[in-house]
Structure 1
Amino acid sequence: MQGTYEARLAELGVTLPDAPAPAANYVPYVVSGDLVFVSGQISMADGAFITGKLGADMDVAAGAAAARTCAIGLLAQVKAACGGDLDRLVRVVKLTGFVNSTADFGDQPKVVNGCSDFLVEALGEAGRHSRSAVSAASLPFGVAVEIEGIFEIR
């Protein structure tokens, strides 16, 4: 039976992938009490990295689209942390977005909005969160965006 959040995702044309495996010596998420701490999810689509540097070879719209893929990865990890029941998600608490950008690029918040906007669209009020959006000189595999999150579950 499909839950409420997954039904909304389906309306948006999104099916959550299997939660990506970690790329190094860490776990993809940690559950502590009613919080899930999800490790950074990198921009990927159809199994390929979305690479680029904002302010050099990628514009804000493309960066925001890359950040949206991070949101999907975050939700996939939360679903895994909830034993496959995404409806255990109470709310998104905090996101930290890292944007691969040039020294003079200042629109990191607009890029990370791709993740934030998607979470609110998919989850409603439960998707509203606190957030940081910062520049990074480089990110793993040359990806454009990496976002980590803290989620409350029941």
Structure 2
Amino acid sequence: MAPEGTCGDGRCVLRFRTGAFVPGVPVLPVVLSYNKRHHNPAWTIMNEGWHFVRMCCQFDNAVDVEVLPPYVPSEEEKASPTLYAKNVQKLYAKTLSLPTVNQSQEEFSALVKRRVGVSWDGRRVTAPEGVVDCNGFVDLNMSTSKKSH
């Protein structure tokens, strides 16, 4: 199972979904690390066709796979799948020497709905006029608040 629900850009570890942690049984963490030089094969926010072409043009698309020891949850983690998921997320992040973030697939979907994407070369965020503020941030609450009206 991919606990993030998607692949990120490799600069952080996204929030883990809780589904795999609900049973409260031990998990076997397997950490994937893409060794990208110019193009990240895991970065899925861009146009799929162009993503595939860029991946094929990159001579080497390597991935390191590290199988960690089984993670046995504490009684507190068994009672709280959210805590269990967060602690395993921290373990992944420590293994990869990356920070954790509280974003997940839901935020990704909100970006797609707002037509936020990545330029053809994968170096810039693209968005319709008025979606990104002067600091380069997107208000994801705008799309959810419109649903309630």
State TM-score, norm by structure 2. 0.25
State TM-score, norm by structure 1. 0.24
Q: Which has the higher strand share?
A: 1
Tell me which structure has the larger Cα radius of gyration: 2
